[in-house]
Amino acid sequence: MKLRSSLTRAFAVLAATFLSVASAQEAAGDEAIKGNAEAARSKVSMCIGCHGIPGYKASFPEVYHVPKIAGQNAEYIVTALRDYAAGARTFPTMEAIAQTLSDQDMADLAAYYSNLR
């Protein structure tokens, strides 16, 4: 009986420790990275070639109407870039570009483009 009680306490302590660590990690992960539109000025060159031309259609690897991202919601832009980087959204050019971006780069680009009209 004493062994069972000790094991129960040990399990409870381990569970509490695990939950507190998981909560701390989740809280840290929830802190959004703040985008810096000014910092993005040195990063937009890879975007302008397609997204900066009104009515542009990409012709490689397939004909694709390139969406206008100026004025788009910043959270949407970050989500789209993360999805391209992870392969959840597919377009080879965007996947390749997004995979080179850090989370800070994505936030900076989103801040820059969301402030354009």
**What's the per-residue H, E or C state across 14-63?**
HHHHHHHHHHHHHHHHHCCCCCCHHHHCCCCHHHHHHHCCCCCEECCCCC
Q: Please, what sign has the CA dihedral across residues 57, 61, 62, 65?
A: negative
Q: What is the DSSP letter of 71?
A: T
Q: What are phi and psi of 16, to 5 degrees?
A: -65, -40
Q: Express each pLDDT in 98-107 by its tens digit.
A: 999 999 999 9
* 14-60 confidence digits (pLDDT tens): 444 444 444 444 444 556 899 999 999 999 999 998 888 777 777 66
Q: How many helices and strands, by DSSP H and E, does the chain display?
A: 6, 2
The pLDDT assigned to 6 comes to 55
Report pLDDT for 108. Answer: 98
Tokens of 54: 């009104």
- Right CATH number for 33-114 from 2.70.98.30, 1.10.760.10, 3.30.70.270, 2.60.120.920? 1.10.760.10
Whether the full predicted model's pTM is greater than 0.75, yes or no, is no
